[in-house]
Homo-oligomer: A and B are copies of this chain.
Amino acid sequence: MTAKAHTLSAVPDADALIADMGARARAAAKLLATAPTAAKAAALHAAAGQLRIRADAILDANRRDMADGRAAELSAAMLDRLRLDDARLNAIAGAVEAVAALTDPVGSEIDRSTRPNGLALSRVRVPLGVVGIIYESRPNVTADAAVLGLMAGNAVILRGGSEAVHSNRAIHAALAAGLAKTGLPADAVQLVPVQDRAAVGAMLRAQGLIDIIIPRGGKGLVARVQDEARVPVLAHLDGINHLYIDGAADPAKAVELAVNAKMRRTGVCGATETILIDRAYPAPLAIIDALIKAGCEVRGDKDVAALSPHVTPASANDWDCEYLDAIVSIAMVDGLTGALAHIDAHSSKHTDAIVTEDAAAADRFLAEVDSAIVMHNASTQFADGGEFGLGAEIGIATGRLHARGPVALEGLTTYKWLVRGTGQVRP
């Protein structure tokens, strides 16, 4: 227990609250684990219906959060993440319906074998159990995370950020009303009713009650969760992503991919933050100019800065920076080997890409870069569960265990071994 957690544990109410919610979630999870796909899908459709029926109440609640947020002088970016309108709420309801249409992983067989003694073994997917989600600002996470967890057969305990408290309650009430119309337990989706930080501490310590914690939010939140948690964590950390322009890159692709990977949306975790250019690549200036023309600030190493007066010199810090903004750092490297060394030293192991027409170079890059997603001739902005055909995502896992890269329904399950015998005893 950390010093901080120790202080928190002095608040018995939070522990009692989470113990009670956890016990109810566990009971719900038992029922959800064997709930038929059709029952889960029906619940999600009912929840989507309630989100639409209760649109006025949800948007009213969101206006209260927005007013509080403006009074609290939240940044424009945070206010934008917080804000709901008819179109955004409709998109949330649509996403719920889309999850209802996904293939249910629960019960699917991963593999099977028969042993020489006749024992028939199979591994089948089962839900993780009780999933705790701790998140900030975006009220859509309340619906997205709840329904992904639920569709994979899990009970979900949600703890949203204070800034979205009214929106989250209204969305949760709609989900609960939807569930109530179907046979699934009301405790399948619970929202922590208090906003004090002690409840987060209690969730992080709730071994045996919560099976996994998924933090969704900024670096501070994820770092706190990783530092304090006793419950296993599926973390989504930064995307310090690289695009390497090999000497054998097609120049047209190189320019187009560099601009898209950096500038399509600069605030997403799949955005490229550093571009590495092979010294052998013939047209580096075209890439730099295209980025600048697209409105990107370019910070370059000495060699890159020498190419254009519009390039700012990069500091050592720039190579470890997730800008999430219209800023890129660019370095010249000595071929593929130089690129691999730079990526090994600076990548956050989220998504890294190579642009080249040299198949052997691409194969080596794909084999040697140790990131959750490694790409050849594609924009790093494709790092997304929807783009990967998963239908949705609860985040992009940057750890190495359990699940890596975009996490959707399968990542919210585990497996068990079934052994069918005819009376075999072990000699």
Binding site for B on A (CB under 8 A): 1-3, 30, 33-34, 113, 115, 119, 121, 126, 128-129, 211-212, 226-227, 230, 232, 234, 250, 252-253, 256-257, 260-261, 264, 344, 353, 362, 366-368, 370-379, 381-382, 387-389, 399-402, 404-406, 414-426
Contacts and interface: CB of A to CB of B under 8 A. Distances in A.
Nearest to A425: B260
Contacts of A253: 423
How many identical chains are in the complex?
2
Contacts of A424: 377-379, 382
Contacts of A252: 423
Contacts of A212: 400-401
28 contacts: A1-B2, A2-B2, A33-B368, A34-B368, A115-B389, A119-B382, A121-B389, A212-B400, A212-B401, A232-B400, A234-B401, A253-B423, A257-B423, A261-B425, A264-B425, A362-B420, A366-B420, A372-B417, A373-B419, A374-B418, A375-B420, A379-B424, A379-B426, A388-B417, A400-B414, A401-B402, A401-B414, A402-B402
A419 B232 contact: no
Interface of A (DSSP majority class): mixed
A283 to B, nearest CB: 16
B260 A421 contact: no
B414 A404 contact: yes
Among A211, A226, A374, A381, residue most surrounded by chain B Cβ atoms (within 10 Å): A374
Contacts of A399: 232
